[in-house]
Amino acid sequence: MNRPVVVIAGAGFGGLTCARALKHAPVDVLLVDRNNYHLFTPLLYQVATAILDPGEVAHPVRQLIRDLPHGDFRKAEVTGVDFDRRLLLTEEGPIHYEYLVIATGATTDYFGNRSLAETTMGLKSLDEGLAFRNHVFSQFEKSRWVTDPDERRRLLTFVVVGGGPTGVEMAGAISELIRLVLRKDYRDLNLNEVRVVLIEAAPFLLGRFDPRLREAARKSLEHKNVDVMLGSKVEAVTHEAVRLGGGIEIPTFNVLWTAGVRGSEAGAATGLPLERPSRIKVGATLQAPGHGEVFVIGDSAGVTNGGGLLPMLIPVAMQEAKQVAASITEMVDGGSPKTFLYKDPGIMATIGRNSGVAQLGRVKLSGFPGWLMWLFVHLVNVVTFRSRLIVLINWAWDYLFYDRPIRLIVRAAEPPSRSKMAP
């Protein structure tokens, strides 16, 4: 008797958790992703700011599913779904499924402004994290050749747009990288020519946090020499400046955009009805409308819980993944899918050395206690034991010696073309 095939599109937190949860189910599991690795996104900003190497936050998918007796992986870009023939469409070819789980994640949202995509950098992928790291160090190297102070300030002004957890963590990490590490590498560096700016359109940072924690985060950033500009809407970004409302202009060559995320292009390519922002509309059982064999989880899913859409967070994706795995197991045995109910475990963010905020139900921590809680939770959740050990060593080294070990400008060479490889 053939085992039903469960195809999971996306090997992020949702997809990987779902695959693992199906370990003992009477099904074959096939994970499909455009990358051959699972990325621990909460620590991506530490790759971008030279604390961690890519190998500490990204792990081969095949390694992570070795213990799944009926699990496999295919590297391919998802291009759509043929629901009538039950085929997941990819650039490498179609894949048949009995059950499909769409977990293709999210991408940076530029709100329809194409110029923002061309003039700013994002931080949603490993490639973007490495590109930003290269960019920061390249700007400092260029600044040593520049004699005009205004031009040097433009090179050394770093603007982060978006006051959510990613923006707050990045602004604090960039400031500490410069003031605690790079000032020692560049002996003639004038810190008065360096500026880190965090721009948020709302009148506060960290919108989902308690007001007291928002204020603690703002004060901590300002203590770390970050210029926090609240209630400031970005009107335009050019290659040389950021223009805000009221005629304010910030000269800079360096803009990191963290002001929004939306469902992935792969999710939108399925043709299923979408919620804003580009998330597939699903019901309480996480099934796609009109297609009971198709489930949607994680950032791809637009599911309501108590009236509003669930946030695009890792705990949401992982809880949805476990629920869908249980539903598929029930359906294989002739049962029905279960209703999903989200249990909020809390949220947290770090603002660099000795400072963080954590909101865990009624428990609200800021400063050093919040930072310790953030460290503990993220260290425990790093995927492999080896990575936990290396991450802990790198954190300790940075904390004790004010030094970040990965300050290399590295770019991968393009592989030779087929014509050059031919005999």
Domains of the chain (ranges, CATH numbers): 5-34+76-108+261-332 (3.50.50.60), 114-259 (3.50.50.100)
State the pLDDT at residue 414.
67
Tell me if 79 sits within 8 A of 269, measured CB to CB: yes
Q: Which residue has the tokens 């049962």?
A: 335
H or E segment and range at residue 181: none
As a whole number of angstroms, the distance between CA 126 and CA 241 comes to 26
As a whole number of angstroms, the distance between CA 91 and CA 128 comes to 22
Copy the structure tokens of residue 32: 């499909």
240 is catalytic: no
State the pLDDT at residue 83.
95
Tell me if 277 sits within 8 A of 110, measured CB to CB: no
* CA 127 distance to own-chain centroid: 12
Tell me if 256 sits within 8 A of 266, measured CB to CB: no
Q: CB 238: neighbour CB atoms within 10 A?
A: 15
User: Which amino acid, 125?
Assistant: S
| Sequential pLDDT tens for the chain (423 residues) | 589 999 999 999 999 999 999 999 999 999 999 999 999 999 999 999 999 999 999 999 999 999 999 999 999 999 999 999 999 999 999 999 999 999 999 999 888 787 888 899 999 999 999 999 999 999 999 999 999 999 999 999 999 999 999 999 999 999 999 999 999 999 889 999 999 999 999 999 999 999 999 999 999 999 999 999 999 999 999 999 999 988 899 999 999 999 989 999 988 899 898 888 889 999 899 999 999 999 999 999 998 876 678 999 999 999 999 999 999 999 999 999 989 999 989 999 999 889 999 999 889 999 999 999 999 998 888 878 788 888 888 888 888 877 877 788 887 666 765 555 554
As a whole number of angstroms, the distance between CA 33 and CA 403 comes to 35
State the pLDDT at residue 73.
97
State the pLDDT at residue 1.
59
Tell me if 50 sits within 8 A of 355, measured CB to CB: no
Strands 78-82 and 87-90: antiparallel
- Report which of 241, 10, 175 is spatially closest to residue 107, judged by C-alpha positions: 10
Helices 165-176 and 211-223 sit at what angle, rounded to 10 degrees?
A: 20
| Burial environment of residue 283 by CB neighbours within 10 A (0 to 12, 13 to 18, 19 or more) | middle
Beta-carbon contacts of 419 under 8 Å, excluding residues fewer than 6 positions away, are: none
State the pLDDT at residue 361.
87
State the pLDDT at residue 146.
93
Which one from 169, 176, 200, 320 is the annotated catalytic residue? Answer: 169
Tell me if 344 sits within 8 A of 306, measured CB to CB: no
User: Which amino acid, 233?
Assistant: K
pTM: 0.91
